[in-house]
C-alpha cells in the first residue's frame, strides 16, 4: 500500500537524511580495501615480474616457505611477539586492576598518562630514543633488546581493553563472592579473573598484532641477526619488488586479520 500512495512533495520523515551518502561510504570502503585486494591478487600471480599478470599460481607461496631468511625472520617475529605479549599483558593487567579498582587516588591521572605515553610519542621518535638508550648503556641482548622495546609499546594496547572490561564489570559480583565467605584472593581468582578473561584475551591479541606488525622500532633496534619479518620485507621492497613480497605480505595480512577478528569478538561486551 505504500507503493500506491503518490507523494506530492518529498521531505516528510527524512530529517537530516542524505540518501546519496551510501555512495560516499561505498567509495570509502573501496578505497580502504582496494590496495589490499590488489596485493592479495598479485600474490597469486605466477609470473616472475610482480606487476605483470602471467596467470594464477601459488608458486610464490611455496618459495616463501623454502626461503630460509624469511623463515628465520618470521621465527624472530614470533618469539618477540609471544614474549612481549606475555610480559605486556601481565604488566597491563596488574596496572588496570590497580587503576580501575583502586578508587580515586593521587597520581591516577599521571599513571594513565604514563601508560598511554607510547601511543602519543611518534614511533620514529621512540625508535631513535630507544636505539640511543640501548647504545648508551651498552645493552646488547640481541632479541632481548627487541623484546624490551616491544613490551613497552604493547603495554597501552593490552591495557585499554582490559581496563574497559573492568570498568564495565559489576563490582557487586565481587561483593557477593566476599559475602559468600571468599577471601579477597579467592574472590579475585574465582570471580574477577574469569569475568575479566575476555578483556585479557582481547588485550593480549591486540598486543600480539601490534608487536607482529611493528616495523619502525624493529627497524631501528634490530641488528643483523635479529631481523623481524616486517624489517625483512622492507629490505625486499628496497631491493626491488618481487612476487615473493606479495605472498609473504598476504600471509602477514591474513594472520593480522584473523587475530583482529579474535580481538573483536573477545572485546564485545556482554559475553
Partner 1 sequence: MSTAFQKDPRSRWLALSPTYLVIAIFMAIPLCIMIVISFLEQNVYGGVHPNFTLAAYQQILFERDFDDNLVFDPAYLIIIGRSLLLALVATLITIVIGFPVAYYIVRQPERRRNLLIFLVTIPFWTNLLIRTFAWLLILGRGGILDSPFKWVGLFGPDDSLGLLYTPFAVVLGLTYTYLPLMVLPIYASLEKLDFRLVEAAADLYSNKWSAIRYVVVPLTLPGIVAGAILVFIPCVGNFVTVDLLGGAKNLMLGSLVQFQFATARNWPFGSAVAVILLLFVVSNMLFYARINKGGSTQGHGS
Partner 2 sequence: MADDHTNALEVRNVIKVYGGPAQGVTALDNVSLDIRHNEFFTLLGPSGCGKTTLLRLFAGFEEVTEGEIYLYGEEIEDLAPHERPVNTVFQHYALFPHMTVRDNIAFGLRRLGKPDSEIEKTVREMLGMVHMEDFGDRRPTQMSGGQMQRVALARALAPHPKVLLLDEPLSALDLKLRQAMRDELQRLQRETGITFVFVTHDQDEALSMSDRIAVMSNGEVQQIGGPVDIYKRPANRFVADFIGDTNLIDVSVGARTRSSTKFRTSGGVELAIKQTTEHAEGTDLSLNVRPENVLIAPVGKGKTDGTLVHKTFLGRTSIYTVQMKDGTELKTRYSNQEGRHHQTIDIGDKVGIDFAPNSIAVLTS
The mark string for 216-235 relative to partner 1 (x by CB under 8 A, - otherwise) is x--xx---------x--xx-
Smaller CB distance to partner 1: residue 69 or 114?
A: 114
**Contact by Cβ (8 Å): 198, 271:** yes
25 C-beta neighbours (distance < 10 Å), count: 9
Distance CA 213, CA 194 (A): 29
Distance CA 212, CA 73 (A): 11
**DSSP category for residue 7:** P
Q: Which does 17 bind (CB under 5 to 8 A by kind): partner 1, partner 2, none?
A: partner 1
Smaller CB distance to partner 2: residue 14 or 120?
A: 14
Q: Which does 124 bind (CB under 5 to 8 A by kind): partner 1, partner 2, none?
A: partner 1
Roughly how many angstroms between the first and final C-alpha of the chain, as a whole number? 42
**Contact by Cβ (8 Å): 161, 267:** yes
Least distance (Å) between residue 82 CB and partner 2: 49
In this structure, what C-alpha cell is assigned to residue 56? 594464477
Question: Which positions from 74 through 113 interact with partner 1, judged by CB under 8 A?
Answer: 90-92, 94-95, 97-99, 101-103, 105, 111
Question: Can you tell me which of 2, 55, 122, 224 binds partner 1, judged by CB under 8 A?
Answer: 122
Q: Which does 12 bind (CB under 5 to 8 A by kind): partner 1, partner 2, none?
A: partner 2
**Contact by Cβ (8 Å): 255, 74:** no
Q: What 3-state class would DSSP assign to 47?
A: coil
Question: Which positions from 163 through 192 interact with partner 1, judged by CB under 8 A?
Answer: 174-175, 178, 184
Smaller CB distance to partner 2: residue 8 or 106?
A: 8
Would you tell me which residues interact with partner 2 (CB under 8 A)?
Answer: 1-2, 5, 7-15
Smaller CB distance to partner 1: residue 1 or 110?
A: 110
Question: Can you tell me which of 165, 204, 213, 266 binds partner 1, judged by CB under 8 A?
Answer: 213
**DSSP category for residue 190:** I
Q: Is 193 in the site for partner 1 (CB under 8 A)?
A: no
Least distance (Å) between residue 14 CB and partner 2: 7
**Contact by Cβ (8 Å): 162, 203:** yes
163 C-beta neighbours (distance < 10 Å), count: 21
Amino acid at each position: 500500500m505504500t507503493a500506491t500512495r503518490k507523494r506530492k512533495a518529498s521531505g516528510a520523515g527524512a530529517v537530516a537524511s542524505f540518501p546519496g551518502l551510501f555512495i560516499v561510504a561505498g567509495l570509502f570502503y573501496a578505497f580502504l580495501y582496494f590496495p589490499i585486494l590488489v596485493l592479495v591478487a598479485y600474490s597469486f600471480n605466477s609470473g616472475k615480474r610482480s606487476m605483470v599478470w602471467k596467470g594464477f599460481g601459488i608458486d610464490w607461496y611455496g618459495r616463501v616457505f623454502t626461503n630460509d631468511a624469511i623463515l628465520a625472520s618470521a621465527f624472530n617475529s614470533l618469539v618477540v611477539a609471544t614474549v612481549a605479549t606475555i610480559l605486556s599483558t601481565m604488566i597491563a593487567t596488574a596496572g588496570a586492576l590497580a587503576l580501575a579498582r583502586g578508587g580515586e587516588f593521587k597520581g591516577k591521572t599521571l599513571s594513565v598518562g604514563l601508560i598511554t605515553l607510547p601511543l602519543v610519542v611518534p614511533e620514529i621518535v621512540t625508535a631513535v630514543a630507544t636505539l640511543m638508550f640501548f647504545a648508551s648503556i651498552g645493552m646488547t641482548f640481541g632479541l632481548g633488546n627487541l623484546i624490551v622495546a616491544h613490551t613497552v609499546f604493547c603495554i597501552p594496547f593490552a591495557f585499554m581493553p582490559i581496563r574497559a572490561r573492568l570498568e564495565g564489570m559489576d563490582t557487586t559480583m565481587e561483593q557477593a563472592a566476599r559475602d559468600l565467605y571468599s577471601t579477597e584472593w579467592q574472590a579475585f581468582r574465582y570471580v574477577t579473573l574469569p569475568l575479566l578473561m575476555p578483556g585479557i584475551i582481547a588485550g593480549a591479541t591486540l598486543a600480539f598484532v601490534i608487536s607482529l606488525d611493528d616495523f619502525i622500532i624493529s627497524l631501528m633496534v634490530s641488528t643483523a641477526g635479529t631481523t623481524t619479518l616486517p624489517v625483512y620485507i622492507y629490505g625486499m621492497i628496497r631491493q626491488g619488488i618481487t612476487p615473493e613480497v606479495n605472498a609473504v605480505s598476504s600471509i602477514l595480512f591474513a594472520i593480522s586479520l584473523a587475530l583482529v577478528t579474535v580481538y573483536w569478538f573477545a572485546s564485545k561486551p556482554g559475553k
